[in-house]
Structure 1
Amino acid sequence: MPTAHAHRPPPRAALAMSEETATAVFGPAAREELAAVCDLAPPVLDDLTTDRARAVLARTELLVTGWGCPPVDEAALAAAPRLRAIAHSGGSVRAHVTEACWERGIEVSSAAAANALPVAEYTVAMILLSGKRVLERARDHRASRERGHPLRVDRALGNYGRTVGICSASLIGRRVIELLRPYDLRVLLHDPYVTDDEAAALGVRKVGIEELFAASDVVSVHTPLLPATRGLVGRELLAALRPGATLINTARGAVVDQEALTEAALAGRLHAVLDVTDPEGLPPDHPLWDCENVLLTPHLAGSQGNEWRRLAELTVSEVARWAAGDGFAHPVRRERLGYLA
Structure 2
Amino acid sequence: MRPDLRPLLLDPARTARLTGLADLDPALVADDFAAPGVAAELARADVLFTFWGCPPLTPEVLAGAPRLRAVVHAAGSVRGFVTDACWERGIALSSAADANALPVAEYALAMILLANKRALAARDRYRAVRGQVSWQHEYREAGNFRRAVGIVGASRTGRRVIALLAPHDMELLVHDPYLSAEDARALGVEPVGLDELCERCDVVSLHAPALPETRHLIDERRLGLMPDGATLVNTARGALVDTGALTRELTGGRLNAVLDVTEPEILPPGSPLYDLDNVVLTPHIAGSLGGELHRMADSALDELERLARGRPFAHPVVRERFAHSA
Q: Percent identity?
A: 52
Please give the residue correspondences for 1:96-245 in structure 2 after superposition, counting only pairs within 5 Å.
96-245=81-230
Give the structure 2 partner of residue 20 of structure 1. Answer: 4
Give the structure 2 partner of residue 287 of structure 1. Answer: 272
Give the structure 2 partner of residue 309 of structure 1. Answer: 294
Cα offset, 1:50, TM superposition: 2.3
Residue ranges of structure 1 left out of the alignment (5+ in a row): 1-16
Task: Report the AA paired with residue 56 of structure 2.
Answer: P
Q: Are the counterparts in 2 of residues 119 and 250 from structure 1 also a CA contact under 8 Å?
A: yes
Partner deviation per Cα, 1:149-178 (whole Å, 9 max, x = no partner): 243233211110100000000100000000
Q: 3-state DSSP class of the match of 2:37?
A: helix
Give the structure 1 partner of residue 73 of structure 2. Answer: 88
Cα offset, 1:207, TM superposition: 0.4
Distance 2:18 2:66 in 1: 22
Choose 299-308 or 66-75, whichever is displaced more.
66-75
Distance 1:137 1:228 in 2: 38
List 4+ stretches of structure 1 deviating above 6 A: none
Partner deviation per Cα, 1:294-340 (whole Å, 9 max, x = no partner): 11011000000110110110000000001111021000011211111
Cα offset, 1:105, TM superposition: 0.5
Distance 1:88 1:312 in 2: 9
Cα offset, 1:211, TM superposition: 0.6
Give the structure 2 partner of residue 37 of structure 1. Answer: 21
Choose 139-148 or 158-167, whichever is displaced more.
139-148
Cα offset, 1:265, TM superposition: 0.8
Partner deviation per Cα, 1:112-162 (whole Å, 9 max, x = no partner): 000000000000000000011111211221222113224323321111010
Count of residues paired in the alignment: 325
Match for residue 262 of structure 2 among 277, 288, 293: 277
Give TM-score, length-normalised by structure 1: 0.93
Match for residue 251 of structure 1 among 222, 233, 236: 236
Give the structure 2 partner of residue 267 of structure 1. Answer: 252
Q: Are the counterparts in 2 of residues 164 and 186 from structure 1 also a CA contact under 8 Å?
A: yes
Q: Are the counterparts in 2 of residues 84 and 106 from structure 1 also a CA contact under 8 Å?
A: yes
Give TM-score, length-normalised by structure 2: 0.98
Give the structure 2 partner of residue 66 of structure 1. Answer: 51
Distance 1:327 1:201 in 2: 27
Q: 3-state DSSP class of the match of 2:274?
A: helix
Q: 3-state DSSP class of the match of 1:247?
A: strand
Name the Cα RMSD after superposition.
1.0
Residue ranges of structure 2 left out of the alignment (5+ in a row): none
Distance 1:257 1:122 in 2: 22
Give the structure 2 partner of residue 318 of structure 1. Answer: 303
